[in-house]
Amino acid sequence: MNKIINNTLKISFIGACFAIIGCSHTDSDFKDHIEKNTSSYYIKMGNDCTINKEYEEAFNHYKTAADRGNALAKRHVGFCYYTGKGVAQDYEQARIYFGESAAKGNTVSMYYLGDIYLEGKGVEKDFAKAMEYFHKAASLKNEYAETRLALLNYYGAEGVYQDYEVAYEYFKKATRHGYSQAQFNMGVVYFLGHGATKSEAEALHWMELAAGNGHEKAKEFLSKTPEERAAMDLKPYALH
């Protein structure tokens, strides 16, 4: 069952953790809103380089800010180590930086710590510790953690009984952020009647919201006839 969950969850993209900001810059670009030689300045420089796929430069900028104790920068450095973008992949270093960031309240770092312990990336698998991080992040309204908890309950896992109704509640919580993936998942839940009364109207409502926020699979769903939709292999999943 864990294999099913792992396969479902392993679609990811770099933009989950790096803000997308225009890449080219001059000194005047920062003059009015970011003071030079501050953590915010280096984070923006890192973001600029990331969108230009200059990952090594991005890592160096994030690291400069992280060395000053900035929690967001530590999250970015952790993500660089986690993905191997700009630096050799190193789950141990990722865990350290995510841990320091999470200790300062960063919920995305909490989420990735949960992922590291759930999947055993550089550490022994520890389901209890993973759930602790997921629940802590979810209690602070992190949509990735809410979605992960929803999926664990939807599919069932070691220590978690399959429970569509609990999954539904977590999926619903994740939609409050306008998160298109959560909106898509709600559409699937209503379309299949898993955890909620089957409703084509509700399914269409959530799919339209997701599509309006750029979700490609929701757009595909809406483009099909009712008969074609019924033949689709729809299932909830996560992007992160």
The series of mean pLDDT values per 10 residues for the chain, 240 residues long, is 46 41 42 72 96 97 97 98 98 98 98 97 96 97 96 90 95 94 96 96 97 97 96 90
What is each CA distance from 212 to 15, 179, 183, 219, 222, in whole angstroms?
19, 11, 10, 8, 11
Amino acid 181: pLDDT: 95
Cα–Cα distance list, 92 to 13, 38, 85 (Å): 21, 27, 15
Q: What CA–CA distance (Å, rounded) separates 185 from 187? A: 5
Backbone phi, then psi, for 209, in 5-degree steps? -65, -45
Task: Look at residue 10 in the predicted model and tell me its pLDDT.
Answer: 43
**Measured between alpha carbons, how far is 91 from 70 in angstroms, rounded to an integer?**
20
For residue 157, the cross-strand partners are 160
* Residue 25: per-residue pLDDT: 42
Instruction: Output the pLDDT for position 218.
Output: 97
Q: Among the CATH numbers 3.40.50.2300, 3.40.50.1820, 1.10.10.10, 1.25.40.10, which is that of 142-240?
A: 1.25.40.10
- Topology (CATH) of 1-140: 1.25.40
User: Hey, where are the domains in the chain?
Assistant: 1-140, 142-240
Global confidence as pTM = 0.82
* Integer Cα distance of 51 and 23 in angstroms: 6
Same fold, 1-140 and 142-240: yes
* Amino acid 177: pLDDT: 86
> What local confidence, expressed as pLDDT, does residue 18 receive?
44
Instruction: Report the pLDDT value the prediction gives residue 157, as an integer from 0 to 100.
Output: 85
Picking from 203, 197, 201, the residue whose alpha carbon sits closest to that of residue 236 is 203
